[in-house]
Amino acid sequence: MLSSNEEIGSITWWVSVVFVGFIVNIVSTYARPWLDRLFLSNIALWKNRSSAAKRVLAQRVDALISDDRLLRQAEHREIRASLERVRFSVFGVAFMVLGYLVQSRQPTIGRVILIAAVITMMSSIVWGWQARDRRREIEGTWSRATGYKPFP
């Protein structure tokens, strides 16, 4: 087996590096237009999705402004989602601690508990997203009423 200094000095190494560099250059030259078209189409889809989401949020805010009962329900849903997020976070941390404590004596059971902790923390993230969405709706009603813009 050649050492790294001898390998770098060999003609085979240099030819293979130049050949691979040449192939990468040619592939990138022909692949770039295709990749540009692919990314531009994805950007257009994302832009359409974002504008549709903004329209839906504006419609929801208009509905909340027109009906106080709907506004109170949205506030209760936001509080519930925030509390669920906290609850799942606390359970996730408790499962992590329990999983690490149990894993030293019962590795299989400890891994199962750690998997439960990961699933619980993922649920916490989802509840956090829901709370954020409800908060945006409620803040939209405040910004329409007062002219204050809490989010862009």
Predicted confidence at residue 147, as pLDDT, reads 63
Structure confidence at residue 68 (pLDDT): 84
Reading the block at residue 14, the tokens are 């240099």
Q: What token pair was written down for 103?
A: 């894993």
How many Cβ atoms are within 10 Å of 104's Cβ, its own excluded?
8
Query: How far is 97 from 42, CA to CA, in rounded Å?
Result: 42
- Span 88-147, pLDDT tens digits: 999 999 999 999 899 889 989 989 999 999 999 999 999 999 898 888 888 877 676 666
Cβ–Cβ under 8 Å, residues 74 and 137: yes
d(CA 140, CA 124): 24
SS3 state at 137: helix
